Amino acid sequence: IEHKGWVWLESPRGKTQARANVTKRIAPGVTWMERFWFPETVETSTKGFTEMNINMLTNDQGPFADFIGSVTYRGFQVRVTPAESAPEGI
């Protein structure tokens, strides 16, 4: 995985893409991804929701947080592999 390179992130639920930010602040074998993306910069039919969104990898079954209606924060295993390029439209 190269710094600023595009990667695939996969879990049993789904697959999405992101740009890697390789740093010494995150331990080897650990990934972290912000939940937001920038739909105003995306030229796809979903505005990047399925192309670059960590929610594509999470469990969409409850329990949900009663005050915001989302899945509670948690860690889970993912496979990270290099991607040939950015998602189409990005």
Sheet holding 6-10, edge to edge: 15-19, 6-10, 79-82
Tell me the per-residue pLDDT of 55-85, one tens digit each, with 9 for 90 and over: 888 777 767 666 665 555 567 789 999 999 9
Are 7 and 20 within 8 A, CB to CB? yes
Q: Identify the pLDDT of residue 10.
A: 95
Residue 10 bridge partners (DSSP): 15, 79
State the average pLDDT over residues 44-64. Answer: 77
State the average pLDDT over residues 2-6. Answer: 93
Q: Which residues contact 21 (CB under 8 A, 6 or more apart)?
A: 3, 4
Global pTM reads 0.76
